[in-house]
Chains A and B, each alone.
Chain A
Amino acid sequence: MTALIIAEHDNDSLKSATANTIAAARRLGVEIHVLVAGSACSAAAEQAARLRGVGKVLMADARHYEGGLAENLAALIVSRAQAYSHVLAPATTFGKNVLPRVAAQLDVGQVSDIVEVLAPDTFVRPIHAGNVLAKVRSDDPIKVITVRATAFEATGQEGTAPIETIAPGPDLGMSRLLARELTHSSRPELTEAKIVVSGGRGLQSGENFKLLEALADRLGAAIGASRAAVDSGFVPNDYQVGQTGKIVAPQLYIAVGISGAIQHLAGMKGSRVIVAINKDPEAPIFQVADYGLTADLFQAVPELISALGQ
């Protein structure tokens, strides 16, 4: 039995969630191949070859794989999938986009967003915004799975797998990448950061997020946000932590001016230590916080910043 891992990358480098996905695949007890499909993607393929547990890297290099769009990529995966017992991808917007298309074209179900591998065919996945954990068995001949990256510690980097170049499939001509508007930040990536500082509606404006930036810089933290803050236009969409946004599980999560809706808790309650700062003592966020501070954030956060600077 062999698992095929669909690498997420930007051609130059591998996205870290790929290493978490390989860690999940290693729990299956099967051989592991990684597919790197891209355009001028050999650097990403070489990084994949160094990940521990990888037996072989398959590299498909063509212009029409450059942006990782679903139609061409799914067709390539489907053309290769019959040789595999499992096909896995990270449950990121990349994996969530491509893999269900693969599953449907293989006429198999998909197990989404697994957080535990119990057996090669049995997994745990959260449903209902993480309020229920379902133990499910896949009865299909090929198990198609997306993996919640924060639930598996990334595999190490001492591997030396061979890279095999494979023939690309045709360009189906259904979709084209026109542009990407990526958020550039010198801070750690939200899903990988050891500390996350998140803001909600209580921040009142995008301008006030500068306060959180100052705090994040003191702590070496990433910045997140609640849906309310994103919908209000305070920060871009990729800051959103929650059921339908990003799932984070840092060592320390500081929720500032966030009330704590079920959907937000779904994205951060796996954090090791949760701090809540909110002026409403009844805010539901306090029910999951290890340390709660009932205070006006516009006083507490500057105090925190200045105390950390001492």
Chain B
Amino acid sequence: MKIVVPVKRVIDANVKVRLKSDGSAVDSDNVKMSMNPFDEIAVEEAIRLKEAGVAGEIVAVSIGSDACQDVLRSALAMGADRALLIRTEAVLEPLAVAKLLREVVAREQPQLVICGKQSTDGDANQAGQMLAGLLGWPQATFASKLDIGADGATVTREIDGGLEIIAVTLPAVVTTDLRLNSPRYTTLPNIMKAKKKPLDVIALDEFGVDTRPRLTTLGLAEPAARSAGVRVADVAELLAKLKNEAKVI
């Protein structure tokens, strides 16, 4: 069984994001970039399925500028077999990403696509569900446990009230939640090996997909910052403040 894993290059999750001084865009100059954390979990899950003898080949896919080769090399160093970069300078919306991934699925014919549930930059939480919708495949989102059987997958999903266990037919799209696994660290020998693994680059135009934006960003702003309040000396002072000043208890 072949697995396709889309990975996105995002501002590292530990960086406090700021706008450029003119407010036109998020400042990503000299900022650490990493693989979207949920995509790392997706890569890890695919590798574990391969190690368990369930999956054969793992193909990592990214969409973006040449800089995205970094995150593809990281996926290869973790254990993906080959990588594909769909090269574009444009910043694409989730619908456009899903349409491109549909083309990748048509070429690669995987039985499973494992996506991160959301990227930590756009926070849209859309691409995996959209891909499933376009393909007419079932979707198992926010997965915290994944079991592949002979004729389908059993997936435990993290939902607002707790957990939900569903069965889906294959092929399917799965999106990862935090508790699915803990991604492995890459080792130096594997990083060296990853340099020799195939990484194809295809220009976005070659796919002939409509990737025009559907949303127009009219402006960006930083939310009003909360000012740090006061330190209280002890529990008694805290309770007094909450009762008499904030009036919340």
Chain A contacts to B: CB under 8 angstroms: 67, 69-71, 74, 92-94, 96-105, 107-113, 122, 126-140, 173-183, 191, 195, 219, 227, 230-231, 236-238, 243-244, 246, 251-252, 262-263, 269, 272-275, 286-295, 300, 303-304, 307-308
Contacts and interface: CB of A to CB of B under 8 A. Distances in A.
Interface stretch (B44-52, B66-74, B216-224): B216-224
Given A108-B95, A178-B165, A292-B229, A129 B120 contact: yes
B164 A134 contact: no
A139 B138 contact: no
A110 B126 CA distance: 8
A240 to B, nearest CB: 8
A175 B238 contact: no
Nearest to B157: A93
A236 B11 CA distance: 29
B95 A104 contact: yes
A112 B125 CA distance: 8
Interface string B191-223: 000000000000000000000011111111111
A101 B214 CA distance: 16
Contact of B223 (A112, A131, A307): A131
B14 interface: yes
Q: SS class of chain B's interface: helix, strand, loop or mixed?
A: mixed
Given A102-B133, A135-B219, 17 more contacts: A93-B158, A103-B95, A104-B130, A108-B95, A109-B93, A127-B121, A140-B214, A178-B154, A180-B163, A182-B162, A236-B162, A237-B158, A238-B160, A262-B16, A274-B226, A275-B238, A304-B238
Q: SS class of chain A's interface: helix, strand, loop or mixed?
A: mixed
B32 interface: no
Nearest to A97: B141
From A136, A230, A237, name the one whose CB has the most chain B CB atoms within 10 angstroms. Answer: A237
B33 interface: no
A251 B249 CA distance: 9
Interface residues of B, number: 82
Contacts of A102: 133
B26 interface: yes
Interface in B214-242: 214-223, 226, 228-232, 234-236, 238-239, 241-242
A13 to B, nearest CB: 12
A304 B239 contact: yes
Contacts of A135: 217-221
Given A111-B215, A130-B223, A292-B229, A101 B132 contact: yes
Nearest to B99: A104
Given A100-B125, A101-B132, A288-B226, A71 B164 contact: no
Given A129-B120, A174-B138, A237-B144, A262 B14 contact: yes
B167 interface: yes
Contact of B220 (A133, A180, A275): A133
A97 B142 contact: yes
A301 B122 CA distance: 38
Contact of A243 (B120, B157, B231, B242): B120
Contacts of B223: 126, 130-133
Contact of A174 (B137, B218, B221): B137
Interface of B: 11, 13-14, 16-19, 26, 38, 93-95, 98, 117-118, 120-134, 137-142, 144, 154, 157-169, 172, 177-179, 213-223, 226, 228-232, 234-236, 238-239, 241-242, 246, 248-249
A29 B132 CA distance: 33
Contact of A103 (B130, B169, B217, B248): B130
Contacts of A131: 16-18, 222-223
Contacts of A177: 164-166
A74 B133 contact: yes
B168 A134 contact: no
Contacts of B19: 132
Contacts of A130: 223
Given A273-B246, A293-B238, A263 B13 contact: yes
A130 B26 CA distance: 12
Nearest to A242: B178
A238 B161 contact: yes
Contact of A219 (B98, B134, B218, B249): B249
B128 to A, nearest CB: 8
Nearest to B172: A174
Nearest to A288: B226
A104 B238 contact: no
Given A101-B133, A137-B218, A293-B232, A96 B125 contact: yes
A99 B139 CA distance: 12
